[in-house]
Structure 1
Amino acid sequence: MDILRISDLRIGFTVHGFSRDVVKGVSLRVPAGKTVALVGESGSGKSVISQAIMGLLPRAGAITGGEILFRDPLAPDTVVDIAALPPEGPGIRQLRGGRIGMIFQEPMSSLSPIHTIGNQIEEALLLHRPMPKPEARGLIEAMLKRVGFKNPQRAFGLYPFELSGGLRQRAMLAMALICQPALLIADEPTTALDVTIQAQVLDLMRDLQAEMGMAILLITHDLGVVANMADEVVVIFHGEIMERGPVEGIFRHPRHPYLKALLKASPHFDMQEGERLVALREARPRPAVARAAPAPAPRADDTPLLRVRHLRKTYVTGSRSFFGKGTLTTVKAVDDVSFDIRRGECLGLVGESGCGKTTVSKIVMRAITANSGEVVFDDGRERCDVLTLQGEALRSFRQRVQMIFQDPVSSLSPRMTVMNILREPLVIHDRGGPAEQRERVKALMQDVGLDVRYLNRYPHSFSGGQRQRIGIARALALDPELIICDEPVSALDVSVQAQILNLLKDLQAERGLTFLFISHNLAVVNYMADRIAVMANGRIVELAPRHVLFNNPVHPYTKALLRSVPFADLDRKLDFKLAAPTGASDDRQWGDAFRSGPDDAALTQLPLGDGHYVLARPNADARELVP
């Protein structure tokens, strides 16, 4: 029996009097108890279809044709055409949140910041199943426990900002499932999560699906998640279905060129040295004009471009009352971190959210101040201690280190045109006159594959990938020697991600750039980095060349991260039960060799050969360190 059957669905949007079809005759089905994955790029119409099913289309959008037939297992003889229901009538309200639940992509913006988790779930429950509040609280606490909250009584009274990303997503799942829906729509439910947390959330969805017998419509662009979760796959492009079928056929025998291109655009661990991602559309169609990087002065020794030693940063959280009482907690965000970045290389820095990756990058950029440690920048002409720079010396240093940010939307001013955004660094640092600056901006646009005719546009008129290219152009404006890439592709589709990664590699080769590449996506880091540092709980727990780290991981945390990566390969399915069930950063699971003992034995970086280091006790048994 099909819980949901969509036939020839057409959805149009009217903007400024002009009508445009965004969903063009889509047909798909979701069988009872099965998971159907709807796969495609941003703008393909995936989320619009989910909004139509939930009756949540924006005012500018309307269903212009077709059917959305919902058959409730509790009343199998009754079929409801959601497309024919009034948008805000009692019919759709009864289904939405009751018999059809939904998990949204970004839990922080989907949850109310001024209401507790318990209040929000209670509202959803009482709307569809009126009951006394004490009984409702009991049901809610039971559901919070089922979705993984260790203390559901305490979780009931917490606000969303007090929860991590993974726990917020679990709270969203509890809200969607509290009324035991027949159909769960999951719209990119794990896009912003680390691989270990993603594995936990996906495993939880599978368990609850088996327990409650519900069907799942999974909307995603991550083919690794699709291979591990879906029974059937529907591939959509520009509002039209390109290919559909069982997951076996889709992955083993793809037929449509678009699906084949999507599979080739995803970075994976089996890529050969020098192999390039195959982007659907290259970011830079015309060949670049190679620019020679400024040659450093010759040196007798092989001094690294950036040398970081014993970096520490702590934060004090909590509150203090008027009389000096209260609870204050010291959090070690960065705890004795040391590494080098050589000229022309890409050092990958990986780890879960909250491990301290971004804090390290902000200290190097002098955006925040370290408690202690040393950061030395040596470009072959001048050597400076970054943490002691002041005034004009600090201003001069900022030209040599630039940053590409994670979110291309919030990192670009909505009030400035692209011309002004790219000119701003040149104006601040007095690089040439107005005419020279405009010529430089045009050259930067060509370098990142954008048409110079776009210079008078504002950021909102660009796609996510184009906005990220503007961010890259801005970072290149001052010809820096080191670029810090902080999750530069985590918000992008696979196809756009391939464009940006290829572009960064090309620019590195042409300009002799050095990268510190921060990410939680191990496949992306594997594609970009020469060496990789793995960070957990504020410390670097393992550091090695890329091929050594992925072939012979030693630290339990590194192994847990690798076990949690979903491959777009049916022959290497993820074992959800082994993928860090208690969290990869829980050092109680690491073993005695990798954590301080009862005698507070200090941990140190032990060399394993071939540039491979692991954080362990100096007196650890060598057998425990064998991969």
Structure 2
Amino acid sequence: MDILRISDLRIGFTIHGLARDVVKGVSLRVPAGKTVALVGESGSGKSVISQAIMGLLPRAGGITGGEILFRDPQAPETVVDIATLPAEGKGIRALRGGRIGMIFQEPMSSLSPVHTIGNQIEEALLLHRPMPKPEARELIEAMLKRVGFKNPKRAFGLYSFELSGGLRQRAMLAMALICQPALLIADEPTTALDVTIQAQVLDLMRDLQAEMGMAILLITHDLGVVANMADEVVVIFHGEIMERGTVEDIFRRPRHPYLKALLDASPHFDMQDGERLVALREARPRPAVAAPPPKPAADAAPLLSVRGLHKTYVTGSRSFFGKGNQTSVKAVNDVGFDIRRGECLGLVGESGCGKTTVSKIIMRAVTPDSGEVIFDDGRERVDVLGLEGEDLRKFRPRVQMIFQDPVSSLSPRMTVMNILREPLVIHGRGDQAGQDERVRTLMQDVGLDMRFLNRYPHSFSGGQRQRIGIARALALDPDLIICDEPVSALDVSVQAQILNLLKDLQAERGLTFLFISHNLAVVNYMADRIAVMANGRIVELAPRHALFDRPAHPYTRALLRSVPFADLDRRLDFKLAAPGGASDDSHWDKAFKAGPDEGALTHLPLGDGHFVLARPNADMRELVP
């Protein structure tokens, strides 16, 4: 029996008086108890279809044809055509949140910051199943326990901003499932999550699906998630279905060129040295560049040396008399590494491990409690943390940053021309004519059209906005660029373009990168060496091949076990991935945990530049497979 059957669905939007079709005759089905994945790039119409099913289309949008038939297993003889229901009528309100649940892509903006998690779930429950509040609370706490909250009574009274990304997504899942829906729509439910938390959330969805017998419509662009979760797959492009079939057919026998291109655009661990990602559509051709700068000598000093960084944050409140409930958190704990000129050092780890704090310390946006950062370009040796006033202002162009979210890092009130000129104006680089010429060169460097210079950021796609961010980072010819999750918000196709662009720029200009990410496949593609960070410390540091071939630390192994492959022959074992999270050291061998008698943990050499954080007396031959 099909819970949902969509036939020849057409959805149009009217913008500035112009009508435009965004979904063009889509047909798909979701059988009872099965998971159907709807796969495609941003702008392909995936989320619009989910909004139509929930009756949540924006005012400018409307269903112009076709039907959305919903058959409730509790009343199988009754079929409801959602497409014909009034937008805010009783019919759609009874289905939405009751018989059809939805998990949204960004839990922070989907949860109210002024109501507790328990209040929000209670509202959804009582709207569809009126009952006494004590009984409702009992049901809600049971559901919070089922979705993985260790202390449901405490979780009931917490606010969304007090939860991590993974726990917020679990709260969203509890809210979507509290009325035991027949159909769950999951719109990019794990895009913003670490691989270990993603594995836990996906495992939870599978368990609850088996327990409650519900159907799932999974909307995603991550083909690794699709291979591990879906029974059937529907591939959509610009509002039209390109290919559909069982998960076996889609991955083993792809036929449509678009599907094959999506599979080729995803970074994976089997890529050879020098192999490039194949972008679905290449960016504008970039101008030919003169010979790259010579490589530094093997014995040259590192461009950046970081030693003994510590940073502690104090959370909680103090009363007027000095008492209070304050706790200190060691965000960075004795972190040190070198970055050689011309190399890309990857820094990976779960959210909250301290990666971004380290980058902010290097950028002088955060002051550490102790430690040193030395910048050596071969001409002078600079103590970065000791710089003040004019010396600091002069140094800033040497280190630039590409941010995670291109939307919030670009001013919506400035044109592209002003955004790219701003660093040149601030640092007094050239006159206006020279600055304008430099901006045009930057646009060419990142493959953007000159006609875009007078546009504002909101008129660009995510990939184009990230290119503007890269151009801004290049404006002052920096020696080091810190890339903080630069592709985590992008589709695989756009991600391939941006990663190839960064590799090309590195080769042409001899750039040095600190590349921060929680996507191990992306780091594997970009980095020469990789540092793995957990609980504020670097637990393993190794050349790329050594880390993936011979991971030594249990945290690194847990991260690698949690990566979903777009390969049916390498299914993810969700139960094995990372119970309690990879950074939960209760699962680690005692050789990797500090003991009262063995002394402090130290970085033990394993050969060829491979180091692991362990007890000084640990025998690595017994522990490393």
2:152 is matched by which residue type in structure 1? P
Aligned to 2:103: 103
Alpha-carbon distance, 1:452 to partner: 0.6
2:601–2:615: 8 Å Cα contact kept in structure 1?
yes
Match of 2:269 in 1: 269
For residues 295-345 of structure 1, the C-alpha deviation after alignment (integer angstroms, 9 at most, x for no partner) is 79x889420000001111111111001121111111100000010000100
Match of 1:393 among 391, 397, 409: 391
Q: 1:504 aligns with which of 502, 505, 513?
A: 502
CA distance in structure 2 between the aligned counterparts of 1:598 and 1:207, rounded to whole angstroms = 40
User: Does residue 360 in structure 1 map to residue 353 in structure 2?
Assistant: no
Alignment partner of 2:422: what SS? helix
1:412: which partner in 2? Answer: 410
Could you say which residue in structure 1 is the equivalent of 2:245?
245
Does the aligned pair in 2 maintain the 1:283–1:503 contact within 8 Å? no
**Residue 438 of structure 1 corresponds to which residue in structure 2?**
436
SS in 2 for 1:171: helix
Q: Name the counterpart of 1:70.
A: 70
User: Which amino acid in the other structure matches residue 160 of structure 2?
Assistant: P
1:599, distance to aligned residue in structure 2 (A): 2.9
Q: Distance in 2 between matches of 1:619 and 1:546?
A: 26
Deviation at 1:291, TM superposition (A): 6.5
**Residues 381 and 410 (structure 1), Cα distance of their counterparts in 2 relative to 1, 3 Å cut:** same
Deviations 1:198-254 (A, max 9, x none): 000000000000000000000000000000000000000000000000000000000
Residue 337 of structure 2: aligned partner: 339
Deviations 1:162-202 (A, max 9, x none): 00000000000000000000000000000000000000000
Cα separation, 2, equivalents of 1:260 and 1:421: 37
Equivalent residues of 1:595, 1:616 under 8 A apart: yes
Task: Indicate the SS of the match to 2:444.
Answer: helix
Q: Report the CA distance shift for 1:392/1:291 in structure 2 as closer, same or farther (over 3 A).
A: farther
C-alpha deviation, 1:626, in angstroms? 2.2
What aligned pairs does 1:77-156 form with structure 2 within 5 A after superposition? Answer: 77-156=77-156
Q: Which position in structure 1 is the counterpart of 2:24?
A: 24
Deviation at 1:589, TM superposition (A): 1.2
User: Aligned-pair distance for 1:292?
Assistant: 4.5
CA drift of 1:622 comes to 3.3
Matched residue SS, 1:150: coil
CA distance in 2 between counterparts of 1:300 and 1:83 reads 66
Matched, 1:35 2:35: yes
Distance change in 2, residues 1:487/1:224 (3 Å): same
Q: What is the match of residue 260 of structure 1?
A: 260
Deviation at 1:289, TM superposition (A): 2.6
Contact kept? 1:284, 1:447, Cα under 8 Å: no
Tell me, what secondary structure is at the counterpart of 1:517?
strand
Name 1:543's counterpart in structure 2: 541
CA contact (8 A) 1:145 1:152 kept: yes
Which residue matches 1:554? Answer: 552
In structure 2, C-alpha distance between the alignment counterparts of 1:286 and 1:366, rounded to whole Å: 33
**CA distance in structure 2 between the partners assigned to 1:406 and 1:60 by the alignment:** 30
Q: Which amino acid aligns with 2:575?
A: K
The structure 2 residue matched to 1:422, chosen from 420, 423, 428, is 420
Per-residue CA deviations over 1:436-462 (Å, capped at 9, x if unaligned) read: 000000000010000011000000000
Contact 2:287–2:445 (8 Å) recurs in 1: no
Contact 1:299 1:380 in 2 (8 A): no
Question: Partners in 2 of 1:22 and 1:193 — Cα distance?
Answer: 29
Given that 2:199 and 2:574 are in contact with CA atoms closer than 8 Å, whether structure 1 keeps it comes out as: yes
Which residue of 585, 595, 613 maps to 2:593?
595
Contact map agreement 2:564 2:571 (CA 8 A) in 1: yes
Q: CA deviation at 1:582?
A: 1.3
Read off the aligned partner of 1:179 and give its amino acid letter.
C
* Maintained 8 Å contact 1:284/1:503: no
1:483 corresponds to 2:481: yes
Letter in 2 for 1:387: L
Letter in 2 for 1:49: I
* Structure 1 residue matching 2:523: 3-state secondary structure: helix
Equivalent residues in 2 for 1:371-382, closer than 5 Å: 371-382=369-380
**Residues 1:179 and 2:214 aligned together:** no
Q: Is the contact made by 1:501 and 1:528 (CA closer than 8 Å) also made in structure 2?
A: yes
Task: Say if 1:46 and 1:236, in contact at 8 Å, map to a contact too.
Answer: yes
Matches within 5 A, 1:524-539: 524-539=522-537
- Amino acid across the alignment from 1:510: E
Cα deviation digits, residues 401-443 of structure 1 (max 9, x gap):
1000000000000000000000000001111000000000000
- Is residue 564 from structure 1 mapped to residue 566 from structure 2 by the alignment? no
Partners of 1:178 and 1:329 in 2: CA distance: 34
- Judge conservation of contact 1:306–1:378 (CA < 8 Å) in 2: yes
Counterpart for residue 301 of structure 2:
303
Whole-angstrom distance in 2 between the partners of 1:93 and 1:292: 62
Q: 1:624: how far off?
A: 3.8
Decide whether the 8 Å contact of 2:304 with 2:374 is kept in 1.
yes
Cα separation, 2, equivalents of 1:285 and 1:55: 43
* 1:218 alignment counterpart: 218
- Contact (CA 8 Å) 2:103, 2:186: kept in 1 or not? yes
In 2: Cα distance, 1:323 partner to 1:310 partner: 35
Query: Hey, what's the Cα distance between the residues in 2 that align with 1:17 and 1:607?
Result: 67
Cα distance in 2 between the residues matched to 1:396 and 1:272: 40
- Assess if the C-alpha contact under 8 Å between 1:487 and 1:518 holds in 2: yes
Shift of residue 287, structure 1, vs aligned partner: 4.2
Output the CA distance in 2 between the equivalents of 1:451 and 1:257.
Answer: 27
Name the SS of the counterpart of 1:399 in structure 2.
helix
What amino acid maps onto 1:70 in structure 2? F
Partner of 1:197: 197
* AA in 1 matched with 2:559: L
Provide the aligned length of Structure 1 versus Structure 2. 625
Task: Tell me by how many angstroms 1:600 deviates.
Answer: 6.4
- SS of 1:127's equivalent? helix
Q: Which amino acid aligns with 1:567?
A: F
1:619 aligns with 2:620: no
> 1:281 corresponds to which letter in structure 2?
R
Structure 2 residues without counterparts, runs of 5 or longer: none
Contact 1:412 1:471 in 2 (8 A): yes
**Aligned-partner Cα distance in 2 for 1:600–1:269:** 37
Encode CA deviations 1:69-111: one digit per residue, 9 max, x unaligned: 0000000000000000000000000000000000000000000
Structure 1: distance between partners of 2:396 and 2:341: 18
Q: Output the CA distance in 2 between the equivalents of 1:274 and 1:610.
A: 21
State the distance in 2 between where 1:197 and 1:596 align: 25
Corresponding residue for residue 602 of structure 2: 604
SS at match of 1:64: strand
Structure 1: how far apart are the matches of 2:319 and 2:155? 24
Instruction: Give the C-alpha shift of residue 285 in structure 1.
Output: 2.3
**Percent of matched pairs sharing the same residue:** 88
Of 265-274 and 282-291, deviating more is 282-291
User: For the residues of structure 2 that align with 1:544 and 1:299, how far apart are their CA atoms?
Assistant: 20
Q: Which amino acid is the alignment partner of residue 278 of structure 1? A: V
Letter in 1 for 2:316: G
| Pair 1:49 & 2:11 matched | no
Distance 1:125 1:612 in 2: 53
Q: Which runs of 5 or more structure 1 residues have no equivalent in the other structure?
A: none
Preserved contact between residue 82 and residue 92 of structure 2 (Cα < 8 Å): yes
TM-score normalised by L of structure 1: 0.99
Compute the TM-score of the two structures, normalised by the length of structure 2.
0.99
2:619, 2:605 → 1: CA distance? 14
Secondary structure of the residue that 2:514 maps to in structure 1?
Answer: strand
Shift of 1:557: 0.0
- In the TM superposition, residue 623 of structure 1 has moved relative to its aligned partner by 3.7
CA–CA separation in structure 2 for the residues paired with 1:623 and 1:449: 49
Following the alignment from structure 2 to structure 1, what is the Cα–Cα distance between the partners of residues 561 and 297? 43
* Cα deviation code 1:92-139 (max 9, x no counterpart): 000000000000000000000000000000000000000000000000
Distance 1:214 1:577, change over 3 A: same
